[in-house]
Structure 1
């Protein structure tokens, strides 16, 4: 079901869109369970079609499940659309209004530096460090397997991605994988749930009253910003003591831009981008990997296929030591791509037009709130054959179909890393991390969930994350 003009031929207005039944004054506010927001919106989409609207205290929010329209909106950023405007002031309050949320002229120089730092040549040069960090994760999991420990994968994988992002972008490896307590990841974990809560709150109460949740976030932010300012100070010292013709990482590049005459970049902008990259690098990749284990644990034949491919590519190495060989680990990336189709970390994308527009036969004024749901198009049989089935092979070149199968595969319906000028700059790093971690894991271990799979729930915490992913690791018999 898609939007269309009314029988009279005039454009539909927001008020013409179907809306779930609500209450006077507050509208649907009482139905928007924040930890399950994506599920609530998906259920309404199943009942009402696309687009529909819901109301928050008189403010309408339109909700769309059309992949093509989503692609169009993302391609027309930043000149016609922007991110949900409520996001920017909330991020600014916590010192995180970096390249992810910046708009207009402030975005372009930040974007250029981040894209350069996360470019393929830079990641290729970084591969030995990436290999070393992945080897530390291997050693951590070996110890857990030997002791018979249950490993909470969401925690371990976030430690890993924090170490990788810090080493690549800031020239410092915090080595959180070798510590048990007092690591920056514990403080970062406080931030996303608070962001989700504040962005969707009908009233900014925290600017007047600090609840216990807000005080915990304040303490976490103080520790995170202390760490970030320390990294900035140490990087400045290295630049002074060991000058380099070309910046060695993103933080040095930003500090150099900060010191350029006439630059609009400030220390606060640099700190905001450091925090942005820490959060983005930690959350998306780590949770995508964690969700992949949910499916792998239930599929021993697939685990064996992956182990065979890992042995063939890695040889005697514990971790893929050659960047050129990463490209041969296609099945591992296919597992992650298929995982994100069924368990999209970016389940909701929020935008608004900066001018009056017509979208799918609906007239939207500037500032109209638009939520795009990413999962419904990926579970649509018009886009993918047997869409409810976990099938990584659908993403591999040359995937054979049975004679009776009418294969449908529309990759444009998969938009986890966005599209257009503001496509995720870290998508290549994420792909390399996923291939390295899963190939190391499958070569050396068999994976079993340590709980009933039905107890693993989806939680909206800005991203869509598992509430837990406890597994047991068993050392795999050598080939």
Structure 2
């Protein structure tokens, strides 16, 4: 759709707001992206999830106590939360201290995968997407709550985790309809909107269940280990909502990027083998532990993740509401107008990435720049998978550690190929998600 708009109308166009939506400018010009980001106020405003704000403020005030979280807050309220959360979530050592535990979860996933694979076909007997979501949920729950849920060693699906997964699927689908597309829900509650509220109730119920269990284990005499416990000592309400948002956001986003990365590597076996050389040097024996020291030098792995996020980022683009009057591509854009920056379209264009249709992790490796000309055309404002500036994704460091760890374990133990007749399919709700059959074949090394 974005390609169609660009071809028909050019690099900048305006959509008039309807049903309470603000006017929005679409831009395909990275110079405009830079202008927007360089002119942000101290509290940048982006597209919010108004239905979630409405739910937390109006439907369940007894749970949220006026704290709507980083996903939905704007202005000073957002700034106050972010200032409390940044030292906990954006400090590298606070996240990397969990490496050993996250690696342990990844190794448990490998054992589970071994038990679920058909030895004749190398195919998974279970739903691969569901299994990856359970891995992601187990991982983020440990960092958020310092709690193991036992999802990697379960004999059958965990009903609470599955309930959360199903409710998040409804949230992503319905929220797009009611928060992004024009909708009547602010005037009256439609049947679909009531389904969304029911999903929010389920998400709140499940996350509260896990949070309350974790709080029972707090040791007031010791330094807080989890994000929940660290934040609890600063602000109880912020701690609870932040832990909820981590459990909400940490399942589908990380699992989607993992599946996409595995897909691109399975479709490019020569790149997979190049990565495997790096991983064998890193771990001569497959079961050796990952440590702070041996994970410092993984340029090709990190290049693979970055190249995946160039092809298939979690979101098609980034959104801001202009905090002051701007001039974009020669047009005056008044304060208060929405600006959508179509990064994925440009990331998949030869105009900004030479040989953009090819999966080339080398373009991200500094030591390859002298011999890899595809690295030379990159504009830094075209590739922003985690956003930019004060509203950079708060979970960036955790997501990177989780992805690196699970990819090391999978590709150090298996050769992975794609045996589907069709390419991997995607659906685009609030995030870009892999969909359809996961036609991976796993060959034990």
TM-score (norm 1): 0.80
Alpha-carbon spacing, 1:342–1:361, altered in 2? closer, same or farther (3 Å): same
Q: Aligned partners of 2:358, 2:135: CA distance in 1, in Å?
A: 29
Residue 168 of structure 1 pairs with residue 143 of structure 2: yes
Aligned 8 A contact 1:306 1:443 in 2:
no
Alignment partner of 2:355 out of 386, 396, 416: 386
SS of match in other structure, 1:169: helix
Q: C-alpha offsets along residues 249-294 of structure 1, whole Å, 9 cap, x if unaligned?
A: 22123332336xxxxxx3xx54432332223322322211111122
Decide which moves more: 200-209 or 319-328: 200-209
Shift of 1:75: 4.3
Residue 228 of structure 1 pairs with residue 207 of structure 2: yes
Larger radius of gyration: 1
Aligned 8 A contact 2:324 2:335 in 1:
yes
Residue 45 of structure 1 pairs with residue 17 of structure 2: no
Q: Partner residue of 2:77?
A: 106
SS of match in other structure, 1:83: coil
Alpha-carbon spacing, 1:418–1:198, altered in 2? closer, same or farther (3 Å): same
TM-score (norm 2): 0.86
Shift of 1:391: 0.7
Q: Aligned partners of 1:71, 1:424: CA distance in 2, in Å?
A: 18
Q: Partner residue of 2:277?
A: 308
User: Considering only aligned residues, what root-mean-square deviation do their CA atoms show, in Å?
Assistant: 2.8
Alpha-carbon spacing, 1:200–1:125, altered in 2? closer, same or farther (3 Å): closer
Aligned 8 A contact 1:78 1:104 in 2:
no
Shift of 1:52: 0.9
Shift of 1:167: 0.7
Q: Partner residue of 1:254?
A: 231
Residue 138 of structure 1 pairs with residue 110 of structure 2: yes
Shift of 1:355: 3.6
Aligned 8 A contact 1:158 1:283 in 2:
yes
Shift of 1:470: 0.7
Alpha-carbon spacing, 1:158–1:42, altered in 2? closer, same or farther (3 Å): farther
Alignment partner of 1:238 out of 217, 221, 232: 217
SS of match in other structure, 1:323: coil
Aligned 8 A contact 2:128 2:438 in 1:
yes
Aligned 8 A contact 1:228 1:275 in 2:
yes
Shift of 1:90: 1.8
Q: Aligned partners of 1:78, 1:400: CA distance in 2, in Å?
A: 35
Aligned 8 A contact 1:319 1:439 in 2:
no
Alignment partner of 2:310 out of 325, 332, 341: 341
Q: Partner residue of 1:70?
A: 33
Alignment of 1:211-222 (within 5 A): 211=191, 213-222=192-201
Alignment partner of 1:280 out of 238, 249, 256: 249
Structure 2 unaligned segments of length 5 or more: list them: 57-66
Alignment partner of 1:414 out of 372, 383, 395: 383
Q: Partner residue of 2:101?
A: 129
Aligned 8 A contact 1:42 1:373 in 2:
no
Q: C-alpha offsets along residues 65-90 of structure 1, whole Å, 9 cap, x if unaligned?
A: 12232234234444374112xx2432
Shift of 1:49: 1.7
Aligned 8 A contact 2:279 2:412 in 1:
yes
Alignment partner of 2:130 out of 155, 158, 180: 155
Aligned 8 A contact 1:190 1:217 in 2:
yes
Alpha-carbon spacing, 1:229–1:80, altered in 2? closer, same or farther (3 Å): closer
Between the two proteins, the alignment pairs up a number of residues equal to: 424
Q: Aligned partners of 2:418, 2:383: CA distance in 1, in Å?
A: 27
Q: Aligned partners of 2:105, 2:443: CA distance in 1, in Å?
A: 20
Alpha-carbon spacing, 1:388–1:101, altered in 2? closer, same or farther (3 Å): same
Alignment of 1:21-60 (within 5 A): 40-57=1-18, 60=23
